[in-house]
């Protein structure tokens, strides 16, 4: 079993380090780590340190011997999923599973057919929840580089993101819309891949037109229609396999 991951503000140098606060409490009281067990400390930005527990003190303090440290380089091609806002808690489900799968960035998108809307305090709380979910899922998946969860974007902002990508795609199940299989698309070996996942009601014709003008073609995953909360995860897995990042 791989060592559990805990988040720190800055990756410590080789030597003795004390993990305390919420992460220390999780290590001592929830994970119940004991002397001699291994763990990984990360800043979530690629920095990591391998350590061994020297002692557990109280309920929230772990003394660790840091034995090695380093930085994981950003993977390439970078995969960003633009996720339309789903209903209820399905947004957190999408963020959680995409993070566990290996997505590099997630962009909340207020699509025309979204039932859920992020405004004011509700929007700020929802964004904070997505970011917290990405952090916790990153730890669970033993990642040391967590996905960035961007600010909510408009259709115009998403189009600009697509225009700058090396490969831009919109998931669309309708063959009549000219969608090709994502499984056979020509993918770049490096650079940026941006994928748009629409809401429950689908991407509107007007949005498809805007995205097409930005260089994004419609693609389908397969014969079945996935929920908006699972489509991004399935597509990410497909892209990770096809680009060699899962080899």
The CATH number of the domain holding residue 23 is 2.40.240.20
The full DSSP string for 188-242 is -SSSEEEEEE--TT---HHHHHHHHHTTPEEEE-SSSPPPHHHHHHHHHHHHHHH
Q: pLDDT band for 176, please (50, 70, 90 cuts).
A: low
Decide which of 71, 99, 129 is a domain's last residue: 71
- In the predicted structure, residue 231 carries a pLDDT above the cut 60: yes
120 and 154 in one domain? yes
99 and 32 in one domain? no
Count of domains for the chain: 2
Confidence at residue 174, expressed as pLDDT on a 0 to 100 scale: 67
Domain range enclosing 33 = 5-71
24 and 53 in one domain? yes
Q: What are phi and psi of 194, to 5 degrees?
A: -120, 130
Decide which of 25, 45, 71 is a domain's last residue: 71
Residue of 67, 66, 90 whose CA lies nearest to 17: 66
173 and 57 in one domain? no
174 and 222 in one domain? yes
- In the predicted structure, residue 41 carries a pLDDT above the cut 60: yes
- Looking at per-residue pLDDT, the higher value among 49 and 87 belongs to 49
CA distances from 100 to 66, 131, 139, 162, 187 (A): 26, 14, 9, 24, 22
Mean pLDDT of the chain: 94
- In the predicted structure, residue 6 carries a pLDDT above the cut 70: yes
102 and 197 in one domain? yes
Arithmetic mean of pLDDT, 81-97: 95
Which bin fits 210, alpha (ψ -120 to 50), beta or left (φ > 0)? alpha
Per residue in 101-116, pLDDT (tens digit) is 999 999 999 999 998 8
Arithmetic mean of pLDDT, 144-152: 97
């Amino acid at each position: 079993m791989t060592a559990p991951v805990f988040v720190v503000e800055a990756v410590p140098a080789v030597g003795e380090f004390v993990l305390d606060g919420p992460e220390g409490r999780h290590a001592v009281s929830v994970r119940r780590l004991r002397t001699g067990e291994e763990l990984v400390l990360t800043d979530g930005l690629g920095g990591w340190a391998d350590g061994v527990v020297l002692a557990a003190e109280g309920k929230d303090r772990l003394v660790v011997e840091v034995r090695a440290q380093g930085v994981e380089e950003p993977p390439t091609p970078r995969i960003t999923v633009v996720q339309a806002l789903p209903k209820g808690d399905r947004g957190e489900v999408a963020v959680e599973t995409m993070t566990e799968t290996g997505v590099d960035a997630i962009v909340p998108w207020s699509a025309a057919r979204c039932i859920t809307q992020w405004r004011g305090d509700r929007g700020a709380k929802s964004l904070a929840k997505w970011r917290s979910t990405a952090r916790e899922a990153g730890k669970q998946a033993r990642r040391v580089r967590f996905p960035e969860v961007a600010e909510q974007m408009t259709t115009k902002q998403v189009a600009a993101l697509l225009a700058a990508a090396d490969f831009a795609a919109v998931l669309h199940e309708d063959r009549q819309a000219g969608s090709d299989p994502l499984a056979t698309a020509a993918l770049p070996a490096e650079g940026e891949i941006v994928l748009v996942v629409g809401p429950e009601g689908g991407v509107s014709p007007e949005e498809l037109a805007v995205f097409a003008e930005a260089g994004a073609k419609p693609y389908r995953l397969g014969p079945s229609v996935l929920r908006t909360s699972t489509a991004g995860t399935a597509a990410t897995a497909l892209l990770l396999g096809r680009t060699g990042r899962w080899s």
